[in-house]
A and B are shown apart, each in its own frame.
Chain A
Amino acid sequence: MDQNELRLLESGCVQEEPPECMAACPIHVDVRAFIANVSQEKWEEAWKILRKAMPFPGIIGRICDAPCKEHCKRKEAGQAIEIGMLERACVKTQSPKQRIYPLPKKDKSIAVVGSKLSGLTAAWDLSRKGYKVTVFESGSQLGGDLLSIKEEILPHNVVREELDILFSLGVAAELDSSVNDENFLEDLARRFDAIYLGPDYRNVPSGLKDLKGVFSRGFLQYDPKSPVWQAAEGRWAATSIDRFLQKVSLTSGREKEGPFTTRLYTNIDYVPYVPAIKPLNQASGYTTQEAIQEAGRCLNCECLECVKACSYLEKFDSYPRKYVREIYNNANIVAGRHPANKLINSCSLCGLCEAVCPEGFAMQSLCLKARRDMVQKGKMPPSAHEFALLDMQFSNSDQFAMALHEPTYESSAYIFFPGCQLCASSPGEVKSVYAHLRKTMTGGVGLMLGCCSAPAFWAGEEQLFEEQFSMWQRKWADLGRPQVILACSTCYNIFKTYLHEAPIISLWSILDETGLPHDFTSLKDAVPLALHDPCTTRYESHLQTNVRNLLQKMGQPFVDLTAKSEYAECCGFGGLMQNANPDLAKTVINRLAGRSSADYVTYCSVCRDNLAGAGKRTVHILDLIFLKDGESDPAARKRPGWSQRQENRLRLKNDLLNELWATDRGERIDHAGPVLNISSEVWQVLEDRRILVTDLEEVIHHAEISGHKFYNPDSGHFKASLKLYNTTFWVEYIPSDGGFTIYNAYSHRMEVSGKEGQ
Chain B
Amino acid sequence: MTNSYTDPEDLRWKCHKCDMFLSVGPASLTYMGKTINARLPVCPQCGFVLISEELALGKIAEVEQLLEDK
Chain A: residues with CB nearer than 8 A to chain B?
335-339, 341, 381-384, 707-714, 718-719, 721, 728, 730, 744, 746-758
> Which residues of the other chain, B, contact A752 by a CB distance below 8 angstroms?
27-29, 40, 49, 51
Closest 7 CB pairs of A and B: A754-B47, A381-B68, A754-B49, A748-B56, A750-B31, A754-B42, A756-B47
Q: Is the beta-carbon distance between A707 and B17 smaller than 8 angstroms?
A: yes
B1 interfacial by beta-carbon distance below 8 Å: no
Q: Contacts A339-B69, A730-B56, A754-B48 given: A383-B64 contact, CB under 8 Å?
A: yes
Within 8 A of A (CB), among B19-54: 22, 25-32, 36, 40, 42-51, 53
B44 to chain A, nearest CB (A): 6
13 residue pairs bridging A and B, Cβ less than 8 Å apart = A337-B66, A711-B13, A711-B14, A712-B12, A746-B53, A749-B31, A751-B31, A752-B29, A754-B26, A754-B27, A754-B42, A757-B44, A758-B44
Q: Is the beta-carbon distance between B61 and A748 smaller than 8 angstroms?
A: yes
> Which residues of the other chain, B, contact A744 by a CB distance below 8 angstroms?
53
Q: Contacts A730-B51, A756-B47 given: A710-B15 contact, CB under 8 Å?
A: yes
A718 to chain B, nearest CB (A): 7
Cα-based distance from A758 to B18 in the complex (angstroms) = 13
B42 to chain A, nearest CB (A): 4
Q: Is the beta-carbon distance between B63 and A750 smaller than 8 angstroms?
A: yes
> Which residues of the other chain, B, contact A721 by a CB distance below 8 angstroms?
51
Nearest residue in B to A707 (C-beta to C-beta)? B17
> Which residues of the other chain, A, contact B40 by a CB distance below 8 angstroms?
752, 754
Cα-based distance from A708 to B46 in the complex (angstroms) = 10
B8 to chain A, nearest CB (A): 12
Q: Contacts A753-B49, A754-B42, A757-B45 given: A710-B64 contact, CB under 8 Å?
A: no
Cα-based distance from A463 to B10 in the complex (angstroms) = 44
Best-surrounded residue of B29, B30, B56 (most CB of chain A within 10 A): B56
Q: Which of B26, B30, B69 contacts A337 (CB 8 A)?
A: B69
Best-surrounded residue of B47, B50, B51, B63 (most CB of chain A within 10 A): B51
> Which residues of the other chain, A, contact B29 by a CB distance below 8 angstroms?
750-752
> Which residues of the other chain, B, contact A384 by a CB distance below 8 angstroms?
68
Q: Is the beta-carbon distance between B13 and A712 smaller than 8 angstroms?
A: yes
> Which residues of the other chain, B, contact A756 by a CB distance below 8 angstroms?
45-47
Nearest residue in B to A340 (C-beta to C-beta)? B69
B56 to chain A, nearest CB (A): 4
> Which residues of the other chain, A, contact B69 by a CB distance below 8 angstroms?
337-339, 341, 381
B61 to chain A, nearest CB (A): 7
Best-surrounded residue of A382, A711, A714, A753 (most CB of chain B within 10 A): A753
> Which residues of the other chain, A, contact B48 by a CB distance below 8 angstroms?
708, 710, 754
> Which residues of the other chain, B, contact A747 by a CB distance below 8 angstroms?
56
> Which residues of the other chain, B, contact A754 by a CB distance below 8 angstroms?
25-27, 40, 42-43, 46-49
> Which residues of the other chain, A, contact B46 by a CB distance below 8 angstroms?
754, 756-757
Nearest residue in B to A749 (C-beta to C-beta)? B64
Q: Is the beta-carbon distance between A755 and B12 smaller than 8 angstroms?
A: no
Q: Is the beta-carbon distance between A748 and B30 smaller than 8 angstroms?
A: no
Nearest residue in A to B42 (C-beta to C-beta)? A754
Interface residues on chain B, size class: 35 or more
Q: Which of B16, B49, B63, B64 contacts A711 (CB 8 A)?
A: B16
Cα-based distance from A728 to B29 in the complex (angstroms) = 12
> Which residues of the other chain, A, contact B28 by a CB distance below 8 angstroms?
752-753
Best-surrounded residue of B13, B40, B61 (most CB of chain A within 10 A): B13
> Which residues of the other chain, B, contact A755 by a CB distance below 8 angstroms?
25-27, 42, 47
Q: Is the beta-carbon distance between B50 and A719 smaller than 8 angstroms?
A: yes
Nearest residue in B to A706 (C-beta to C-beta)? B17
Nearest residue in B to A685 (C-beta to C-beta)? B53
Cα-based distance from A746 to B58 in the complex (angstroms) = 11
Q: Is the beta-carbon distance between B44 and A710 smaller than 8 angstroms?
A: no
Cα-based distance from A53 to B21 in the complex (angstroms) = 75
Q: Is the beta-carbon distance between B30 and A751 smaller than 8 angstroms?
A: yes
> Which residues of the other chain, A, contact B26 by a CB distance below 8 angstroms?
754-755, 758
Contacts A335-B70, A712-B14 known; 14 new A-B pairs at CB < 8 A: A337-B69, A337-B70, A383-B64, A748-B57, A749-B31, A750-B64, A752-B29, A754-B48, A755-B42, A757-B44, A757-B45, A757-B47, A758-B44, A758-B47
Cα-based distance from A747 to B56 in the complex (angstroms) = 7
Cα-based distance from A750 to B64 in the complex (angstroms) = 7
Cα-based distance from A712 to B46 in the complex (angstroms) = 17
> Which residues of the other chain, B, contact A381 by a CB distance below 8 angstroms?
65, 68-69
> Which residues of the other chain, A, contact B64 by a CB distance below 8 angstroms?
383, 748-750
Q: Is the beta-carbon distance between A719 and B66 smaller than 8 angstroms?
A: no
Q: Which of B13, B30, B36, B60 contacts A710 (CB 8 A)?
A: B13
B60 to chain A, nearest CB (A): 5
A695 to chain B, nearest CB (A): 14
Q: Is the beta-carbon distance between B50 and A710 smaller than 8 angstroms?
A: yes
> Which residues of the other chain, B, contact A753 by a CB distance below 8 angstroms?
27-28, 30, 47, 49
Best-surrounded residue of A335, A728, A744, A752 (most CB of chain B within 10 A): A752
> Which residues of the other chain, A, contact B44 by a CB distance below 8 angstroms?
757-758
Contact string against A for B residues 3-14, beta-carbon threshold 8 Å, 1 for contact and 0 otherwise:
000000000111
Q: Is the beta-carbon distance between A336 and B30 smaller than 8 angstroms?
A: no
Q: Contacts A751-B29, A754-B26 given: A746-B70 contact, CB under 8 Å?
A: no
Cα-based distance from A707 to B36 in the complex (angstroms) = 28
Nearest residue in B to A713 (C-beta to C-beta)? B14
Q: Is the beta-carbon distance between B49 and A719 smaller than 8 angstroms?
A: no
Q: Is the beta-carbon distance between B16 and A708 smaller than 8 angstroms?
A: yes
Q: Is the beta-carbon distance between A336 and B61 smaller than 8 angstroms?
A: no
A681 to chain B, nearest CB (A): 14
B26 to chain A, nearest CB (A): 6
Q: Contacts A713-B12, A748-B64 given: A336-B51 contact, CB under 8 Å?
A: no
A539 to chain B, nearest CB (A): 34
> Which residues of the other chain, A, contact B50 by a CB distance below 8 angstroms?
710, 719
Q: Is the beta-carbon distance between B12 and A714 smaller than 8 angstroms?
A: yes
> Which residues of the other chain, B, contact A750 by a CB distance below 8 angstroms?
29-31, 36, 60, 63-64
> Which residues of the other chain, B, contact A757 by a CB distance below 8 angstroms?
44-47
> Which residues of the other chain, B, contact A383 by a CB distance below 8 angstroms?
64, 68
Cα-based distance from A50 to B10 in the complex (angstroms) = 65
Q: Is the beta-carbon distance between B68 and A382 smaller than 8 angstroms?
A: yes
Cα-based distance from A309 to B50 in the complex (angstroms) = 46
Cα-based distance from A339 to B65 in the complex (angstroms) = 11
Nearest residue in A to B25 (C-beta to C-beta)? A758
Cα-based distance from A22 to B60 in the complex (angstroms) = 51
Nearest residue in A to B53 (C-beta to C-beta)? A746
> Which residues of the other chain, B, contact A728 by a CB distance below 8 angstroms?
51
> Which residues of the other chain, A, contact B17 by a CB distance below 8 angstroms?
707-708
> Which residues of the other chain, A, contact B51 by a CB distance below 8 angstroms?
721, 728, 730, 748, 752
Cα-based distance from A758 to B31 in the complex (angstroms) = 23
Nearest residue in A to B60 (C-beta to C-beta)? A748
B25 to chain A, nearest CB (A): 4
Nearest residue in B to A703 (C-beta to C-beta)? B16
Cα-based distance from A754 to B47 in the complex (angstroms) = 5
Nearest residue in B to A709 (C-beta to C-beta)? B16
Nearest residue in A to B27 (C-beta to C-beta)? A754
> Which residues of the other chain, A, contact B25 by a CB distance below 8 angstroms?
754-755, 758
Q: Is the beta-carbon distance between B42 and A758 smaller than 8 angstroms?
A: yes
B41 to chain A, nearest CB (A): 9
Cα-based distance from A726 to B29 in the complex (angstroms) = 14
Cα-based distance from A660 to B22 in the complex (angstroms) = 56
